[in-house]
Structure 1
Amino acid sequence: MGEPTSIKALLLKLSRHSPWKVLVKDPQIWRAWDLVVGETIARNAQPHSFRRGVLWVRCSGPQWMHQLQLM
């Protein structure tokens, strides 16, 4: 396993454009969530919406919200 990578960095690798524009325009990014964050996090946190430049994620509990904040 390599070094931790931010979600933003992973999204940038998926596209040469701004990751936020890609999230809004390309539904494949929503479907790629499991690959981007990994199976364990994907079971406990799912993208919900994108508003005012912020990706909102629904988490199964506060511990998963905290885990995502550390990424």
Structure 2
Amino acid sequence: MRRRRRRWSGPGPDDRDPQPLGRVASRIAADRGWTERLAGGQVFARWGKLVGEDVAEHAQPVAFSDGELTVQADSTAWATQLRLLQRELLKRIAAGVGVGVVRRLKVQGPAAPSWRYGPRHVPGRGPRDTYG
């Protein structure tokens, strides 16, 4: 049986040397497949800087999945404007967080109010059908 000889660290860099925290964290994220989700989180955290304060004032990211970023505008006019600026916004986001992180942009208008009250609901036109 042959004994392995123990290697002693020399004056050069070694894997056992203390590593910067950022390097260790990025290595762990890459090993576990978290890089896409972390990049998506950067889009949410840096939204105002990525797209500009004027756009960020009227639109917020709401979801990120499989390279598709869903953005909700506060009015239909801003939703139309964001659809027209879609290519420019994708370029800005790619410059800020990396190319290929956000591949598609889905723009939604404002959410319509719900007229349902309570846990039970009867299908139909509602109170309008009782007026004649």
TM over 0.5: yes
Q: Deviations over 1:30-70 (max 9, x none)?
A: 11110111111101100000235421111100111111111
Instruction: Give the 3-state SS of the residue equivalent to 1:40 in structure 2.
Output: helix
Q: TM (normalized to structure 2)?
A: 0.34
1:59 equivalent to 2:110? Answer no
- Within the candidate set 3, 14, 38, 1:25 is matched to 38
Over the residues paired in the alignment, what is the CA RMSD in angstroms? Answer: 1.5
1:70 equivalent to 2:84? Answer yes
Number of positions where the alignment pairs a residue of Structure 1 with one of Structure 2:
49
Which AA in structure 2 matches 1:36? L
- % identical equivalent positions: 35
Q: TM (normalized to structure 1)?
A: 0.58
Structure whose CA Rg is larger = 2
Specify every segment of 5 or more residues in structure 2 that has no aligned partner in the other structure, as ranges.
1-35, 86-132
In 1, Cα distance between the equivalents of 2:47 and 2:70?
A: 13
Specify every segment of 5 or more residues in structure 1 that has no aligned partner in the other structure, as ranges.
1-20
Which AA in structure 1 matches 2:77? Q
1:40 equivalent to 2:54? Answer yes
